[in-house]
Structure 1
Amino acid sequence: MLLFYRICCIVLMVALFLHPSGSLGQDRIEGGFFLGASYYYGDLNPGQLFYRAQPSLGGVIRVVANSRIAFKGGLTVINLKGNYPDQNVRYPLQDGYTSSQYRFKRSMADFAAQIEINFFQYDHPFRSEETRFSPYISTGMASTLYRRYNSGDEDNSEKPHFILSLPIGIGIKWKLSDWVHVGVEWNFRKTFADDLDLMGHGAIDPSDPYGFNQSSFMHNNDWYSFAGLLVTFDLYHRRVTCNAGY
């Protein structure tokens, strides 16, 4: 957690350094949609990219502060899937099971508020033709809503549950026309839960596959990722006055 806060502080300091003095209001507001694929990292998939990828879609609002900095809010529907045995991982079977087959499939909602930092100036109001493209990175805070399996209930029910997740994203964007922006984005979420792949009793317990009853911040909590196409449309433009062209 301390490392994450340090990273966020560095990102914010860079953002303040890049933000021109005197331009604290938004330059424009964009709204649009995301369409792509999502996949899971965890005990059933230690590292394969786009493992059993499932469709994902969402909406986004972007408040552009200037040609370097934007603030983005998003809601994305995430679908995850996994099977065991797979990915050359093997775990001890739960008591009473002779078959090692286990699978899960889950839908979740991802809520995120992030700062987006462009590597190049993007869509500068007085240099529009020269600033139509830029790679960018993003980070901030996020939360994940999913139905958590509760083995303590008499009926072993699943109840809606929010967890904190830490977002990191990279992407590229291009100004397609005066009011349309398209991009490709790849997002990662580090969650503070180890049961995204737990869907009830089965041959293994992916939330604690070795039965250690211990957790680790870096290694035992599940991750998920989603990547795809992002399209936004200008909803509002602030009028700007030319000062020597910049």
Structure 2
Amino acid sequence: MIKSKKVQIALWILLGSIQCTLAQKIEIGGGLGAMNYKGDISPDLHPSFAKLGGHILFRYNLKNDVSFRASALIGSIYGDDKEVSDPFNQLRGKTFQTTINELSLVTEYNFLNYKYNRYHKDWSPYVFGGIGFMKFSPRDNPVSDYKQNQIVLPFGVGIKYNVRGPWDINLEFGTRKTFTDYLDNLGGDDPDLPKNLQNDYSKNDMYYYTSISITYKFIKIYCPK
């Protein structure tokens, strides 16, 4: 009789533990990365133009495959005509450096169901997209009265990997579509340049952020009483 009661208690505890759920809704973190740019001074990506950037983030994991992320980014972009092989750039000889501050809200989609599991390391590639607001400040005096506060559209790809317990690492490459041609402080109406050296102001500039983040997930275990 005693053994039977012990078996019943053990089974009750086992079933209760199976029904326990892990809440992994909230994540915070931060990281560093390289900022780069594509525009009039750098028509293609030049790794030598990369500058340091840093960010902090808050993530809400709605489901295993969908998350919402708010982040703040600060960094700078740079370019120099003399370091570009195009003869047009060499002749123009312009250079710039611009500080960028960005706030963004994006949705992430994990291709694999991503969640903490105490029995194995989890990982997943993901894509993201959303909307952001950025303020950019050129090192030199602005060439014209253009707006330095702009809406941006961030999007990109990444991969998440659970290192241990609540700690994750994220590797990410992100693009920012902008609606300005003046990130490099060079527009089609630059009065300091002759018409034959003006840039193509029909195309807006873009900037990129390649980063590594460390995040901490707040894990709570809920079990039925």
Q: Is this contact kept in 2: 1:147–1:160, CA < 8 A?
A: no
Matches within 5 A, 1:1-246: 27-91=24-88, 100-123=92-115, 129=119, 132-147=122-137, 150-151=142-143, 161-198=148-185, 204=193, 210=198, 215=202, 220-234=203-217, 236-237=218-219, 239-240=221-222
Question: Residue type of the partner of 1:177?
Answer: R
Q: Using a 3 Å threshold, how does the CA distance of structure 1 residues 145 and 228 change in structure 2: closer, same or farther?
A: same
Instruction: Count residues with an aligned counterpart.
Output: 197
TM-score (norm 1): 0.69
Q: Is this contact kept in 2: 1:32–1:232, CA < 8 A?
A: yes
Offset of 1:241 from its aligned partner? 5.7
Choose 1 or 2 for highest CA Rg: 2
Tell me the SS of whatever aligns to 1:85. Answer: helix
Q: Is this contact kept in 1: 2:108–2:127, CA < 8 A?
A: yes
Q: Using a 3 Å threshold, how does the CA distance of structure 1 residues 191 and 202 change in structure 2: closer, same or farther?
A: same
Identity of aligned residues (%): 22
Distance in 2 (alpha carbons) for counterparts of 1:78 and 1:56? 4
Q: Which runs of 5+ in 2 are unaligned?
A: 1-22
Question: Residue type of the partner of 2:97?
Answer: K
Question: Residue type of the partner of 2:124?
Answer: S
Q: Using a 3 Å threshold, how does the CA distance of structure 1 residues 86 and 152 change in structure 2: closer, same or farther?
A: closer
Offset of 1:176 from its aligned partner? 0.9
Q: Cα RMSD (Å) of the superposition? A: 3.0
Question: Residue type of the partner of 2:159?
Answer: I
Q: Is this contact kept in 1: 2:125–2:160, CA < 8 A?
A: yes
Tell me the SS of whatever aligns to 2:92. Answer: coil
Q: Using a 3 Å threshold, how does the CA distance of structure 1 residues 47 and 241 change in structure 2: closer, same or farther?
A: farther
Q: Which has the higher helix share?
A: 2
Tell me the SS of whatever aligns to 1:176. Answer: strand
TM-score (norm 2): 0.75
- Output one character per residue of 1:154-181: Cα deviation in whole Å (capped at 9) or x when no partner: xxxxx98310111112100111111111
Question: Residue type of the partner of 1:210?
Answer: Q
Question: Residue type of the partner of 2:166?
Answer: W
Q: Is this contact kept in 2: 1:109–1:145, CA < 8 A?
A: yes
Question: Residue type of the partner of 2:72?
Answer: L
Q: Using a 3 Å threshold, how does the CA distance of structure 1 residues 191 and 229 change in structure 2: closer, same or farther?
A: same
- Output one character per residue of 1:61-112: Cα deviation in whole Å (capped at 9) or x when no partner: 111112101100111112111001343334499xxxxx73221011111211
Question: Residue type of the partner of 1:231?
Answer: I
Q: Which runs of 5+ in 1 are unaligned?
A: 1-25, 94-98, 154-158
Distance in 2 (alpha carbons) for counterparts of 1:166 and 1:68? 22
